[in-house]
């Protein structure tokens, strides 16, 4: 299985990244292909809700690191999302990532 792991803490080498890397190690040992993307080192801006992606085949108008994550996501069989708890919720970085998956909403999700 091709697994994409996205970590959403702004803190490099913090608990979230340690936990995700332990998961990735075990998954690789079990024979899976694992790609880890750490939002602490990447730029993922908030969704602009412009719906440009809806008329441009799922391509986002913003040119930041979310483009390469979306490419990884399109090739993944499973997404593992790891976030610290921030005020009883996911971190702002994780929420930006979740919102930016809207680029695939029209193409890949039927609702
Ligand atoms: C802004 C902020 C809000 C937080 N809110 C919570 C919370 O609501 N509940 C909780 O148990 N921990 C909370 N924490 C603690 C973090 O979830 C905890 O330290 C976590 O392990 C940090 O992950 P990291 O080491 O990957 O950055 C908060 C930390 C920060 C910085």
Residue range 22-42: mean pLDDT, rounded? 98
Q: What are the backbone dihedrals phi and psi of residue 53, each rounded to the nearest 5 degrees, phi first?
A: -60, -30
- Counting from 1 in the atom list of ligand 1, the atom nearest the Cα of 89 is 8
Q: What are 38-97's pLDDT values in tens digits?
A: 999 999 999 999 999 999 999 999 999 999 999 999 999 999 999 999 999 999 999 999
Contact 51, 103 (CB under 8 A): no
Task: Select from 3.40.50.10860, 3.40.50.360, 1.10.3720.10, 1.20.1300.10 the CATH code of 2-108.
Answer: 3.40.50.360
pLDDT at residue 20 above 60? yes
What's the Cα-to-Cα distance from 83 to each of 4, 9, 50, 79, rounded to whole Å?
Answer: 14, 6, 26, 13
Radius of gyration over every alpha carbon of the chain, rounded to an integer in angstroms: 14
Instruction: State the pTM of this model.
Output: 0.95
Residue ranges lining ligand 1, Cβ < 6 Å: 9, 11, 14-16, 84-88
Residue-range domain boundaries for the chain: 2-108
pLDDT at 110: 47
Higher pLDDT pick, 20 / 109:
20
- Counting from 1 in the atom list of ligand 1, the atom nearest the Cα of 19 is 26
């Amino acid at each position: 299985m091709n697994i994409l792991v996205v970590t959403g803490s702004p803190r490099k080498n913090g608990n979230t990244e340690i936990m995700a890397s332990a998961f990735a190690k075990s998954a690789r040992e079990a024979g899976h292909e694992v790609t880890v993307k750490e939002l602490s080192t990447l730029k993922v801006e908030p969704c602009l809700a412009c719906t440009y992606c809806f008329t441009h085949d799922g391509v986002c108008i913003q040119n930041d690191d979310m483009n390469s994550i979306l490419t990884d996501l399109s090739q993944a069989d499973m997404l593992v999302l790891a976030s610290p708890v921030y005020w009883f919720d996911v971190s702002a970085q994780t929420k930006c990532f979740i919102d930016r998956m809207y680029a695939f909403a029209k193409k890949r999700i039927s609702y």
